[in-house]
A and B are shown apart, each in its own frame.
Chain A
Amino acid sequence: MPQLHDVDYTLEYPYTRTTGPVIGPFLTGLRDGRILGQRCGEQVLCPPMEFDPDSFATLEPDLVEVGPGGEVVNWTWVAEPSAKHPFDRPFGFAFIKLDGADTALVHAVDTGGDAGAMSTGMRVQAQFRDERHGSIADVYFVPEADAAEQVIGQGDEPVTITEHLIGLRIAEPLYPHRARFAQGLLDGKIIGQRSPVTGKVYVPGRGYDNMSRVLMSEADEVEVSDVGTVVAFTELNPVQYYGQTETEPYVRCSILFDGTDQPVIGIDIRDMTVDEMRVGMRMRCIWRDPEERSVEDIDNRYGNIPETVYARFEPTGEPDVPADELKEHSW
């Protein structure tokens, strides 16, 4: 039989940023195997900046090559790298003052996992990765004695956009009330929570009544009907944003189940067109066979009644409920 599972997903946002007149050439340089600093009076700033960090005056782009060698002026050892770090084995992060620069760049030093190799004053040298994208991650550093000779040709167009995919993993158990709701769906039941203050029934329960600001528990839970009334619907024409899995238009509706006070939103309808939908239409849930139900898409934040538990919703044929009686629930 299908079972409940812990929540484990990765929240991702693909960020693209324009690079501007100073960072653009800097990232272009990294792609092409060179590190550039920005002149600021008598000094050279690396990482380069568009402004004088002391006076905040704008600097005209004036880039000059620095490195590839440099000196460690501060460091710390990462015993347990995170998923976002440049190496998956222990490494050093260091402030590196590159030859020809007056400020320090923060970057990773790979000593083969040996913390004892790190020290203030140590000499390091840049190494460029085989695959470069015009990113600060195109480069890393090693002790000078370990550096390999690299010959890197110039790339094509200047880097004007940089891409950064942010991914944050979220892993936790289902909250107790979410677990009971999800188990209900596997059992072919819709579980709601009845407010001990107002008597209103919310589906799915959130563990509290937000109108009366009171927490709710298993004692407040009730099984509700799987027959209800459409209170809102729309046709979704899927925009192809990052992470979109839908390609064809489909109907999404909200259903107010009998005996409840809050519609379940986000119920997807695949076998009816938007023209066949009506506010006030009576619908019933036709569940999937028990062994075919899944609540994998239910986490603690998203997921009400997912398509993975029902085969379809079908009109009951009863007379429509007048829309005027539903206006408190049209969401």
Chain B
Amino acid sequence: MVSLAEDVAIVAFEQTPSYAHFNDSEPAMIMPCVNSVIEQVGMDRHDIDFTIAGSCDYLSGMPFAFVMNIDAVGAWPPVYESHVEMDGAWALFEGFVRLQSGDIDTVLVSGSGKCSPGSYREGFSLQSDPYVHAPIGLDPRTQAGFQAQALIAAGKATEQDFAEVVARSHANAKNNPYAQLSGDLSVDGLLAEPYVQQPLRSHDCPPTSDGAAAMIIARADKARELCDNPVWIRGIDHRIDSHHPTLRDLTDSPSVRIAAERVGLHDGPVDIAELTVTYSPEEIILRDALGLNGGTSVNPSGGPLTGSPFMAVGLTRVIELARGIRNGDGRRGVAHASSGPALQQNLLCVLEGDS
């Protein structure tokens, strides 16, 4: 594991519910989250040293939409600010790296996305290769279908396994007030549903969601000053597999394996894993690549299958894990965020409670 120059902790976090449709602007969705985290630590907005957000203009449907989002974080008088065209989990990564310099104490991180006005299948097909994939509309759901088929062909999973992931996720979400979908589903009933992307059914795919999330992270001394129960970031790493799906083994995730090694995942117990399972087969791949066993509670929040506001959903995994640790559901765990199709890019973040 890589040693860190500065210990960093999460001191405040907030998320919106996962909305099927939020009928107002993205800044109006983010603003209550930002106000909440500032209030939690009792800081003045302008005493926060650095601000960074993650969002996607293609989802927002406007060039430079991310600039408008700054309305929600408070930009006047001018603040020191940055943006990633990625999920908010990558904004957290940049904020974490920024704190390693040791010259600033606090970072405000946010992530937001509204999928409901557009088509994420069409928008995110533009992440694929611009010469040989994007012109035929190769979308993330299709790539998830390939991944599912590859798992079945390799004998690593069945459609029943996918349905069991869905049923467990929805059951877990019954305890999550932020979830968009929840309930008791029978595996047999799920398997009787028609395919939308054979071998995937509608419930194997994420709902269309709008949502936002925000957190404040701080260097060690400041973290202890700002709150009684900081949640420590013990490791964070981002790894990438080929963007050509035919050039990798879709039934495995080498990038997750490398990231898990880099964050020292198994240097301690893994009580909770909050994983970006956007399509149900991904949980099977992630459990295997992370080396999780029965001792780990996987997606106790229900995960993205029960609410998937793209660009906030990865940061929300970190928040759900931090909440679980604060609530005493576990002492140490891992949050996973994903970008690109079929788990092409993966970010892992290990959190630990105050000891």
Please list the residues of chain A having a beta carbon within 8 angstroms of any beta carbon in chain B.
Answer: 7, 9, 11, 15, 17, 19, 23, 27, 47, 49, 53, 74-80, 82-86, 93, 95, 103-108, 115, 120, 135-137, 162, 164, 166, 168-173, 175-177, 206-208, 210-211, 213-215, 300-302
Q: Is B31 an interface residue (CB 8 A)?
A: yes
- Residues 181-221 of B at the A interface (beta carbon under 8 Å): 194-200
Q: Contact check, A15 vs B130: say whether CB atoms are below 8 A apart.
A: yes
Closest 10 CB pairs of A and B: A76-B145, A84-B137, A170-B61, A210-B71, A77-B198, A172-B117, A104-B246, A85-B137, A47-B132, A301-B62
- Distance (whole angstroms) from the CB of A271 to the closest CB of chain B: 31
Residues of A within 8 A of B21 (CB): 172
Interface string of B23-51 (1 = CB under 8 A from A): 11101100110110000000001000000
Docked CA distance A23–B129 (Å): 12
Q: Is B247 an interface residue (CB 8 A)?
A: yes
Q: Interface residue count for B (Cβ, 8 Å)?
A: 61
Prevailing SS type, chain A contact patch: mixed
Docked CA distance A135–B121 (Å): 21
- Distance (whole angstroms) from the CB of A162 to the closest CB of chain B: 7
Docked CA distance A94–B281 (Å): 18
Docked CA distance A23–B133 (Å): 13
Docked CA distance A10–B142 (Å): 23
Residues of A within 8 A of B195 (CB): 77, 79, 115
Q: Contact check, B146 vs A93: say whether CB atoms are below 8 A apart.
A: yes
- Which single member of A76, A85, A175 contacts B148 (CB below 8 Å)? A76
- Could you list 8 A-B pairs, sorted by A, with CB under 8 Å? A7-B117, A74-B146, A83-B122, A84-B125, A105-B246, A168-B123, A170-B118, A206-B27
- Distance (whole angstroms) from the CB of A221 to the closest CB of chain B: 15
- Which single member of B24, B65, B136 contacts A108 (CB below 8 Å)? B136
Q: Contact check, A170 vs B117: say whether CB atoms are below 8 A apart.
A: yes
- Distance (whole angstroms) from the CB of B241 to the closest CB of chain A: 11
Q: Is B72 an interface residue (CB 8 A)?
A: yes
Q: Contact check, A207 vs B131: say whether CB atoms are below 8 A apart.
A: no
Q: Contact check, A210 vs B27: say whether CB atoms are below 8 A apart.
A: yes
Residues of A within 8 A of B245 (CB): 95, 106
Known: A136-B132, A168-B58. A75 touches B149 (CB 8 A): yes
Residues of A within 8 A of B150 (CB): 74
Residues of A within 8 A of B145 (CB): 76-78, 93
Docked CA distance A211–B73 (Å): 10
- Which single member of A95, A108, A135, A176 contacts B246 (CB below 8 Å)? A95
Q: Contact check, A76 vs B199: say whether CB atoms are below 8 A apart.
A: yes
Q: Is B244 an interface residue (CB 8 A)?
A: yes
- Residues 221-261 of B at the A interface (beta carbon under 8 Å): 242, 244-247, 250
Question: Of B117, B130, B150, which is in contact with the most chain A CB atoms at under 10 Å from its CB?
Answer: B117
Question: Of B28, B32, B61, B121, which is in contact with the most chain A CB atoms at under 10 Å from its CB?
Answer: B61
- Residues 117-169 of B at the A interface (beta carbon under 8 Å): 117-119, 121-123, 125-126, 129-139, 142, 145-146, 148-150, 153
Q: Contact check, B24 vs A74: say whether CB atoms are below 8 A apart.
A: no
Residues of B within 8 A of A120 (CB): 149, 153
- Distance (whole angstroms) from the CB of A234 to the closest CB of chain B: 19
Docked CA distance A275–B89 (Å): 52
- Residues 45-83 of B at the A interface (beta carbon under 8 Å): 45, 58, 61-62, 65, 71-76
Q: Contact check, A206 vs B71: say whether CB atoms are below 8 A apart.
A: yes
Q: Contact check, B135 vs A135: say whether CB atoms are below 8 A apart.
A: yes
**B201 to chain A: closest residue by CB:** A79
- Distance (whole angstroms) from the CB of B333 to the closest CB of chain A: 32
Residues of B within 8 A of A9 (CB): 61
Q: Contact check, A17 vs B27: say whether CB atoms are below 8 A apart.
A: no
Q: Is B176 an interface residue (CB 8 A)?
A: no
Question: Of B75, B130, B133, B242, which is in contact with the most chain A CB atoms at under 10 Å from its CB?
Answer: B130
Docked CA distance A206–B72 (Å): 11
Q: Contact check, A207 vs B24: say whether CB atoms are below 8 A apart.
A: yes
Residues of B within 8 A of A76 (CB): 142, 145-146, 148-149, 197-200
**B62 to chain A: closest residue by CB:** A301
- Distance (whole angstroms) from the CB of B186 to the closest CB of chain A: 23
Q: Contact check, A164 vs B134: say whether CB atoms are below 8 A apart.
A: yes
Q: Contact check, A301 vs B142: say whether CB atoms are below 8 A apart.
A: no
Docked CA distance A7–B123 (Å): 18
Q: Is B116 an interface residue (CB 8 A)?
A: yes
Docked CA distance A210–B69 (Å): 10
Q: Contact check, B247 vs A208: say whether CB atoms are below 8 A apart.
A: no
Residues of A within 8 A of B24 (CB): 175-177, 207
Docked CA distance A300–B149 (Å): 40
Since A77-B145, A168-B123, A215-B28 are in contact, a sample of 13 more A-B pairs with Cβ atoms closer than 8 Å, ordered by chain A residue number, is A23-B131, A82-B125, A85-B136, A86-B136, A103-B247, A168-B119, A169-B118, A170-B118, A171-B117, A173-B23, A176-B24, A208-B71, A215-B31
- Distance (whole angstroms) from the CB of A90 to the closest CB of chain B: 10
**B77 to chain A: closest residue by CB:** A211
Residues of A within 8 A of B137 (CB): 82-86
Known: A106-B132, A135-B135, A166-B126. A208 touches B28 (CB 8 A): yes
**A23 to chain B: closest residue by CB:** B131
Q: Contact check, B74 vs A168: say whether CB atoms are below 8 A apart.
A: no
Known: A82-B119, A210-B74. A137 touches B35 (CB 8 A): no
Docked CA distance A120–B153 (Å): 9
- Which single member of B31, B34, B122, B129 contacts A168 (CB below 8 Å)? B122
Q: Contact check, B131 vs A215: say whether CB atoms are below 8 A apart.
A: no
Residues of B within 8 A of A108 (CB): 136
Residues of A within 8 A of B200 (CB): 76
Docked CA distance A85–B153 (Å): 25
**B247 to chain A: closest residue by CB:** A53
Q: Contact check, B131 vs A162: say whether CB atoms are below 8 A apart.
A: yes
Q: Contact check, B146 vs A79: say whether CB atoms are below 8 A apart.
A: no
